[in-house]
Amino acid sequence: MPNWLRQYLGIALGSLVTAVGLNMFLIPNKVAAGGVSGLATVLHYVLGFPVGVTMLALNIPLFLLSVKVLGTRFGINTLYGAAILSVAIDGTAPFTPVLTQDLLLNSLYGGVLSGIGMGLVFRFRGTTAGTDLAAAIINKMTGISVGQALLMVDFFVILSAGIAFKSAELSLYALISLFVTTQLIDLIQEGPSSSKAFMIVTAVPDQVAQAILAELERGVTFLQGRGAYTGQMRETLLCVVSTSEVTMLKELIYNLDKRAFVIVADVHEVLGEGFSRTK
Q: What is the pLDDT of residue 29?
A: 94
Contact between 159 and 171 under an 8 Å Cβ cutoff? The reply is yes
What is the SS3 assignment for 258? coil
Global pTM reads: 0.69
Using one digit for the tens of pLDDT, what is the confidence trace for 129-180?
A: 777 677 767 777 887 765 577 778 888 899 999 999 999 999 999 999 988 9
pLDDT digits (tens, 9 = 90+) for 36-62: 999 999 999 999 999 999 999 998 888
Alpha-carbon distance of 153 to 169, in angstroms, equals 19
Distance between CA atoms of 217 and 220, rounded to whole angstroms? 10
pLDDT in tens, 84-139: 999 999 999 999 999 999 999 999 999 999 989 988 888 887 777 777 677 767 77
pLDDT surpasses 90 at 34: no
pLDDT for 74 equals: 60
Residue that wins the pLDDT comparison between 167 and 186? 167
Task: Write the CA distances from 50 to 16, 29, 94, 96, integer angstroms.
Answer: 17, 15, 12, 15
Mean pLDDT of 65-71: 72
pLDDT score for 79: 82
Residue 217 has what pLDDT? Answer: 86
For the chain, count helices (H), then strands (E).
10, 4
C-alpha torsion angle, residues 39, 42, 47, 51 (rounded to 10): 60
Under the banding of pLDDT at 50, 70 and 90, the label for residue 279 is: very low
Q: Which region among 183-187, 245-249, 261-265, 275-279 has the lowest average model confidence (pLDDT)?
A: 275-279
Q: How confident is the model at residue 19 (pLDDT cuts 50, 70, 90)?
A: very high
Q: How far is residue 143's CA from residue 103's CA, in Å, rounded to a whole number?
A: 37
Residue 63 confidence (pLDDT) above 70? yes
pLDDT-derived band at 273, boundaries 50, 70, 90: low
What structural domains does the chain harbor? 3-188 (no CATH), 195-267 (3.30.70.120)
Give the model confidence (pLDDT) of 218-231 as tens digits.
999 999 888 788 88
pLDDT of the residue at 103: 95
pLDDT (0 to 100) of residue 249:
93
Q: What percent of the chain has pLDDT over 90?
A: 50
